[in-house]
Amino acid sequence: MEKINIQPVLIGGDLNCYNVARAYHEAYGVTSIAVGRYELGATKDSKIIKFIVEPNINDNDYFVERVLKLADEIEEKGKQLILVGCTDEYAELIIDNRDVLSKKYITPYIDKDLKDSLISKENFYEICEKHGLDYPKTYIYSKGQPVSDVKFNYPIIVKPSDSVSFWRNPFEGMKKAYLVNSEKEFQQIVDEIYAGKYEDNLIIQDFIPGDDSKMRVLTAYSDRNGKVKMMCLGHVLLEEHTPKGIGNHAAIITEYNEEVMMKFKEFLESINYTGFSNFDIKYDERDNTYKVFEINLRQGRSNYYVTGSNNNIANLVVEDRVLNKDMELKLCKDEHFWRVIPLNVVYKFVKDEEIKAKAKKLISEGKWTSSFNYKYDLKGNFKRRLYITLYDINQMKKFKKYCK
């Protein structure tokens, strides 16, 4: 284990945060500091995380003040501080204040202008069009329009253009994305969304047929010079199906597709992207294309699928931003199975028998990981082990209820 004088500071408290903390601990033996509005089970009672509760950390001014103050509070001087956002909202706060935060932290992110052009899904699709990335047939719906203006065949997908603004204004029954089967249902959903404080546009898209196993996730790391240095493509076996968690990856097998990787590499380098990027993609068997839904300006929630496949995400940041190394491009070629749900859920709810058999084969060969199955964190840690047991039971209940 390499000794590097660093201190990761993670903003968030969910699975994303735990995955990042585990990567840093595995690579460098360091305990991460995490800051969030409240404690979450994913990071609670962990030996690899020191968690600080700050209820107002999502307020821009308070965020800057608290994060800068935290840098001064870190006892051991001379440490290089690495700041990581573990949700869209926190990543955007870091980007918006990158200039001031970078005086005390390493902040491996794009600038605000590029962020503003990418976070709006409608702008993102315009950029995709310009750079030749395939994406689903899309219509931009504005508040107040007749739903009959949308000339798509049903079913359709409905989702907010600005997901951060959407989640800042919660309402009963809200979903990350909606599968809509009729114009009447579409009108009802539009009314529900705009009855609250969300004012931005909605993205209406052609529904690409196929279950979770048609989904792909691509994670890339671009260095300080805007050159892509790592790409890891994941074939999704299963996603969560709860209303607020729909689309969150629950089981993935890494796969190699150089054509897809090179297309996204060219895209990222053409816009001079820096740091982690994460793409949600779906294979459309109707025209044999991989169509992108969105870009996340951070490592994805399921980022341990990358670390577990021998592409530790902490190493990438440290070698690029701390050690200033010029890294070689690495495309993940080896198959590796990752999960954050019990195996019995994978075996019961994955419909594609071929990829299910592949998962079983990788498990038999020892080529698998689970985010929470970290021996260091579990050894002698009764509370942590109890949480994971209860978490697994809850996952079984959720999939039974929501995954049809």
* Model pLDDT for residues 277-312, shown as the tens digit of each residue: 999 999 999 999 999 999 999 999 999 999 999 999
The Cα–Cα gap between 142 and 264 comes to: 29
Amino acid 267: pLDDT:
97
Tell me: the pLDDT tens digits for 42-67?
999 999 999 999 999 999 999 999 99
Amino acid 77: pLDDT:
76
The Cα–Cα gap between 402 and 102 comes to: 43
The Cα–Cα gap between 91 and 268 comes to: 18
The Cα–Cα gap between 363 and 385 comes to: 22
Which residues, including other chains, have CB under 8 Å from residue 163's CB and lie 6 or more apart? 88, 176
What number does CATH give the domain 212-402? Answer: 3.30.470.20
**By the 8 A CB rule, do 96 and 21 touch?**
no
Helix (H, G, I), strand (E, B) or coil at 279: strand
Strands 178-180 and 228-239, how do they pair? unpaired
Amino acid 248: pLDDT:
93
> Under CATH, domain 6-112 is a member of which superfamily?
NAD(P)-binding Rossmann-like Domain (3.40.50.720)
Cβ neighbours around 289 below 10 Å, total: 17
Q: What tens-digit pLDDT sequence spans the chain (404 residues)?
A: 567 899 999 999 999 999 999 999 999 999 999 999 999 999 999 999 999 999 999 999 999 999 999 999 987 778 999 999 999 999 999 999 999 999 999 999 999 999 999 988 888 999 999 999 999 999 999 999 998 998 889 999 999 988 888 888 888 888 888 999 999 999 999 999 998 889 899 999 999 999 999 999 999 999 999 999 999 999 999 999 888 788 899 999 999 999 999 999 999 999 999 999 999 999 999 999 999 999 999 999 999 999 999 999 999 999 999 999 999 999 999 999 999 999 999 999 999 999 999 999 999 999 999 999 999 999 999 999 999 999 999 999 999 999 87
The Cα–Cα gap between 80 and 86 comes to: 19
The Cα–Cα gap between 378 and 388 comes to: 10
What number does CATH give the domain 137-206? Answer: 3.30.1490.20
Amino acid 2: pLDDT:
64
Q: Domain boundaries in the chain?
A: 6-112, 137-206, 212-402
| One-letter amino acid of 3 | K
Q: How many CA atoms lie within 13 A of 212 on its CB side?
A: 25
